[in-house]
Amino acid sequence: MHLLPVMEGLHSSEALNPPFLQAFFQRVKELEARPSEFEDALHGTVIATIFSEPSTRTRLSFEAAAHRLGASVITMADSKSSSESKGESLVDMARVVGGYADLMVLRHPLDGASRLASQATTTPVINGGDGRLGHPTQTLVDLYILYREWGDFAGRTVAVMGDLRNGRTARSLAWALAVLGVRIVLLPGVGLDWEAGFERRILDRFDYRLRWGKHPLFRDWTGNEEARVLEPKGLVQKSLFREEVPEIDRLDALYLTRLQAERGAQAGPGSYPGLTSAQMQNPLLATCKILHPLPRLDELPSEIDTDPRALYFEQAKVGPVVRQAVFLAMLRQDRWSLPHLTPLPAGSPDVQLGLCPNSSCVSRAEGLPAPWRVVGDARRTFLCAYCDGQLQVEYAGCRSTNKVHALFSGAAFRISPENLQPFLDRDAAEKAGYQWGG
């Protein structure tokens, strides 16, 4: 198995950074204003859309974008019609299709599929949605709609509601909102919250803090009047000086998501958080933009469609132009230069912590050991480079002395980064030939 050491492409919101986003929004706005300027910019280019999960809107949105730029499209819209049904691995598929096309858009049911595919081919890969993890072009659509409304994101408060556990769009958007310094209110359905580790990473990476905020409407939605709020530590606000939980008096945007039944999510009758026409009269939502990645189920009744705050069909409508901008950013840097995306660390093949514990991680389906990357300075938390699954290690080995130490011992502290070999337990260390060093 030959895998490239880098993960280039657009795999998750982690690739986004403020300079890129600011320039990107500006460019999309120009494209919207002058659609014909780039209409043959990708003439002669072949874009592959490989969709191993049901989808209409995302695939057609990418394909319309490609055609609007004069590119050709080859598409595999149904995994059952494909070599996958003959048992082909994702890595082989990506290598082969990468040989046919100039860019590949991948949708896949497993976490981290886009990242792994990008290691199989030098052809750029764009994540069209993989597992519970990433959907960065949807996030760019969501952000662009807000940018078009607001101009900038400073001081904004955005709530994300629904199936945070399984919904990649909510997770992907939340990370990107933190990139932009936005306050995020979390309104998960009962049993549909995301895992603590993901939130911890947002807090650590962006110097955010977690507090609580309340509003009577929150109880209607989640059964709990109080909601978790993620916000930049620097944000000055009166609630800092009070014991009680402050009221959230305004939402600038509310991002709804449907229950992800295709990923096994379930909700009791009436228990899934949704919006009603009546709630739209509540002052909390007076100037609140209503977003939804669509398709929707009962959480968003069609009565709201004609409300000027409802922007979800606008989201769908700008899907192609936002994706045109992504294609141009990746394939026509000569005419369309943008600040760089943040490269995604590929993980170290030297750190051997075995199989990824996430059963939906693409590495397990492909029979690969996960490449692990360390998070933070404590050297305790490691992430699977594909699916961001976390492991916490307790022991640190030194490749130079061949000794293993408790992680928080002085000896462990003195191991240089390039010599660090983490272990989950002493047993594993000893099996790997390390001696106990105290």
Q: Which residues are catalytic?
A: 57-58, 86, 107, 135
Q: What binding mask, one character per residue, do residues 153-192 give for a second copy by CB under 8 A, x or -?
A: ----------------------------------------
Token reading at 340: 């760089």
Q: List the one residue out of 434, 384, 375 whose CA is nearest residue 406.
A: 434
81, 154, 238, 264: which one contacts a second copy (CB under 8 A)? 81
Q: Phi and psi dihedrals of 142, rounded to 5?
A: -60, -45
In the complex with a second copy, which residue's Cβ is closer, 56 or 237? Answer: 56
In the complex with a second copy, which residue's Cβ is closer, 216 or 295? Answer: 295
Q: Shortest approach of a second copy to residue 142 CB, angstroms? A: 15
209, 317, 414, 431: which one contacts a second copy (CB under 8 A)? 317
**Beta carbons of 229 and 186 less than 8 angstroms apart:** yes
DSSP 3-state of 429: helix
**Beta carbons of 438 and 409 less than 8 angstroms apart:** yes
200, 250, 296, 309: which one contacts a second copy (CB under 8 A)? 296
**What residues from 241 to 280 belong to the interface with a second copy (CB under 8 A)?**
258, 261-262
DSSP 3-state of 88: coil
Could you say which DSSP state residue 385 is in? T
**What residues from 332 to 391 belong to the interface with a second copy (CB under 8 A)?**
none
Q: Shortest approach of a second copy to residue 110 CB, angstroms? A: 17
* Residue showing tokens 């780039």: 38
List, in sequence order, every residue forming a beta bridge with 423; answer none if it has no partner.
395
Residue 2 interacts with a second copy (CB under 8 A)? Answer: yes
* Residue showing tokens 């462990």: 412
Q: Shortest approach of a second copy to residue 7 CB, angstroms? A: 19
DSSP 3-state of 3: coil
DSSP 3-state of 50: strand
Q: Phi and psi dihedrals of 336, rounded to 5?
A: -145, 60
Residues near a second copy (CB under 8 A): 1-2, 36, 39, 44, 46, 48, 51, 54-57, 59-61, 63-64, 67-68, 72-74, 76-78, 80-89, 91-93, 95-97, 99-101, 258, 261-262, 294-297, 302-303, 305-306, 313, 316-317, 319-320
